[in-house]
Amino acid sequence: MRALRALMLLLLASFATTSLAADAVSFRLNWYLGGLHVPFYYGKEKGYYAAEGIDLAINEGRGSANTVQVVAAGSDTFGLADSSSVISTAARGADVKSVMSLLNSTGFSVVSLAETGIKTPKDLEGKKLAVSAGDPLGQLFQALAAHNKLDLSKITMVQVDPAAKVVAVLEKRADGLLGGADDQYFLIKQRGVQPAALRFSENGANIVGMTIVTKTDLIKSNPDLVRRFVRATIKSWEESKKNPGAAVDAALKVKPDLNRQSTLEQLQVDIELLDSPNSKGRIGWGAQADWDQTLDLLKKYRDLKTTEPWTAFHTNEFVTAK
């Protein structure tokens, strides 16, 4: 009898351990750790993912397009990638979909030295802009130019390697560059020079920025896991908005060589980009107007071929309604 009781207790303990085991989840960033990624590390440190039964591993990325590909291949459970990479890859038949419309405004900008005086789109006429071959910003810049009726014949595009854009501006071989308000802007600022950013999102050429992407197969087979991951991510961003300094400190524990002040300022820009005029106060929620405009701009300026509606590329089903 005593042996039977001991066996039952062992079985119950084994069942409890199994039922409480966290789901191993890998999350691929779009790039090396920077301000945009701070909330995920903060959420992991504070236990928000663990509280949802998720054992989270965060991996640095090598670009949004690569992140979407590794998620589609099943190498990572979730990924952080810009909407254009998700849409273009899914349109070619990949098994991926956005489950969070994280940054509903794009950080794409014309970044310049403040002394150059580029404050409005019209100021771009007569200027030279650094751009890289195959850079999607060059194509989307055409949308900004069209919306603001700019004469493109008066704007010179200077082709440089991606890493040379900032140098070209600092050396005044270009008046500005096509880059990010949360990226090259701060690379210039770190050199002790005051930058300026003319944002696409504020000048008629907004597209959805960063999204959380996963396989559509996972959405169907394990919606509970997707819902828990989204819930933990929303919590991580909400708390990072309240405590940005503490959030950055969590990231510094993982990568001590980060510039704390620059990373904090990058995070603050990304917090600004969470919302668009169509989507305010609901982290992760994507507005149809924003996704429709994104599709329209990609079709017109980036040769996107699809007849699918926006819901083929993004779902709001995992973001709790308010």
Q: What distance lies between CA 200 and its chain's CA centroid?
A: 16
Q: List the structure tokens of 179.
A: 């880059």
CATH superfamily of 23-105+208-312: Periplasmic binding protein-like II (3.40.190.10)
- How high is the pLDDT of residue 99? 98
Q: What is the dihedral of CA 16, 18, 19, 25, to 10 degrees?
A: 140
DSSP symbol at 184: H
**Residue range 143-202, pLDDT digits in tens:** 999 999 999 999 999 999 988 999 999 999 999 999 999 999 999 999 999 999 999 999
- How high is the pLDDT of residue 223? 98
- How high is the pLDDT of residue 320? 82
* Residue 11 dihedral angles phi and psi, to the nearest 5°: -65, -40
Residues 6+ apart with CB under 8 A from 306: 87, 91, 295, 299, 312
Residues of the chain with pLDDT under 70: 1-20, 321-322
pTM of the full predicted structure? Answer: 0.90
Q: How far is it, in rounded angstroms, from Cα 213 to Cα 313?
A: 9
Angle at 32 between CA 198 and CA 98, to 5 degrees: 75
Residues spanned by CATH 3.40.190.10 within the chain? Answer: 23-105+208-312, 108-202
- How high is the pLDDT of residue 16? 44
The residue behind tokens 């640095």 is 60
3.40.50.1970, 3.40.50.300, 3.40.190.10, 1.20.1730.10: CATH of 108-202:
3.40.190.10
- How high is the pLDDT of residue 2? 59
Q: Are 63 and 89 in contact (CB under 8 A)?
A: no
Burial 36-73 (b: 16+ CB within 10 A, else e): bbbbbbbbbbbebbeebbbebebeebeebbbbbbbbbe
**Residue range 299-316, pLDDT digits in tens:** 999 999 999 999 999 999
